[in-house]
């Protein structure tokens, strides 16, 4: 049996939600994400399983600690967090939803902000992320607040956000900077995972070229694997060391 879009839309109108949340990580600008949710008593979770089979996402049963009393029935939840899947779901629901019509519009506008972001490349032309400027971060925050207002139950009332002020000072770059100006990714001694130095690399290559030390012993001397040693010797890594 396959559920129709009309059936899922009616179910979603009554028991579903669309949320935009803001998180904060140390040393980085605030970032936003969107989540679609649908709840049902666990006894009837087969409906949620069919929704997940069609649109992706995952279904799980809430743990006992989430239930407010022993008499409450087990609750199952379907969540979808990947943006392409969310866009596909919201566009399928949009023609039929009434209660969640505004949330769907805001959610689709939020997803479009990711599609407009350009690719961030290093000096070698490799893709290293997305160009995200202050304006785009602030736009996503406005959409988060609009979604919160759309999800508000009952008559409008003043309800200040409990989140700290939006942080954009650690943004990657402003939106008007040129893509080709970004420096290459950290490499060599500047990379946080390495314990080697440029002189170690030169000595390693010289010892291998002289043939006085076996590769396994040479790798053990510097605390690396033979595979990592081979990449260094044949200049697949540490290419900048001459």
Tens digits of residue pLDDT in 49-87: 999 999 999 988 876 665 556 666 678 889 998 889 999
For position 98, what pLDDT does the model report? 94
Enclosing H/E stretch for 232: helix 226-233
Average of pLDDT values for 108-133? 68
Strands annotated E in the chain: 16-23, 31-41, 58-61, 75-80, 119-121, 127-130
DSSP conformational letter for 71:
T
Q: What percent of the chain has pLDDT over 70?
A: 69
For 61-92, give one letter per residue: b (16+ CB within 10 A) or e: eeeeeeeeeeeeeebbbbebeeeeebbebbeb
The fold adopted by the segment(s) 5-64+74-117+134-159 is Endonuclease I-creI (3.10.28)
How far is the C-alpha of 36 from the C-alpha of 20, rounded, in Å?
Answer: 9
Using the predicted structure, report yes or no on whether residue 169 has a pLDDT greater than 70: no
Tell me which of 154 and 15 has the higher pLDDT. 15
Please, where in the chain does CATH 3.10.28.10 lie?
5-64+74-117+134-159
Residue 119 CB contacts under 8 Å (≥ 6 apart), including other chains: 127, 129, 130, 131, 179
Over residues 23-38, the pLDDT tens digits come to 876 666 678 899 999 9
When pLDDT is averaged across residues 93-104 and rounded to a whole number, the result is 94
* Mean of pLDDT values over 107-133: 69
The predicted pLDDT at position 45 comes to 83
In this prediction, residue 9 carries a pLDDT of 94
Q: How far is CA 216 from the centre of its chain?
A: 40
Over residues 140-162, the mean pLDDT reads 75
Residue 31: exposed, middle, or buried by beta-carbon count in 10 A (0-12, 13-18, 19+)?
middle
pTM above 0.85, yes or no: no
Residue reference for tokens 């409450």 = 72
More confident residue, 206 or 114: 206
Report pLDDT for 65. 62
CA dist., res. 197 & res. 172, Å (int): 28
């Amino acid at each position: 049996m396959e559920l129709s879009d009309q059936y899922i839309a009616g179910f979603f109108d009554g028991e579903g939600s669309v949320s935009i949340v803001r998180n904060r990580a140390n040393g980085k600008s605030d970032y936003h994400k969107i989540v679609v949710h649908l709840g049902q008593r666990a006894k009837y979770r087969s409906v949620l399983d069919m929704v997940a089979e069609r649109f992706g996402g995952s279904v799980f049963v809430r743990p006992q600690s989430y239930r407010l009393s022993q008499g409450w029935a087990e609750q199952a939840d379907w969540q979808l967090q990947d943006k392409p899947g969310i866009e596909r779901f919201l566009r399928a629901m949009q023609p039929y939803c009434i209660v969640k019509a505004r949330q769907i519009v805001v959610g689709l506008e939020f997803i479009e902000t990711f599609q407009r972001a350009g690719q961030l490349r290093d000096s070698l032309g490799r893709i290293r992320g997305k160009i995200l400027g202050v304006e785009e971060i602030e736009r996503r925050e406005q959409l988060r607040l609009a979604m919160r207002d759309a999800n508000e139950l009952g008559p409008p009332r003043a309800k200040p956000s409990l989140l700290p002020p939006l942080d954009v000072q650690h943004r990657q770059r402003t939106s008007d900077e040129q893509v080709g100006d970004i420096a290459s990714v950290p490499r060599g001694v500047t990379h946080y995972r390495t314990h080697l130095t440029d002189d170690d690399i030169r000595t390693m290559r010289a010892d291998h070229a002289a043939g006085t030390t076996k590769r396994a012993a040479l790798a053990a001397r510097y605390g690396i694997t033979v595979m990592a040693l081979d990449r260094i010797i044949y200049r697949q890594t540490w290419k900048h060391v001459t």
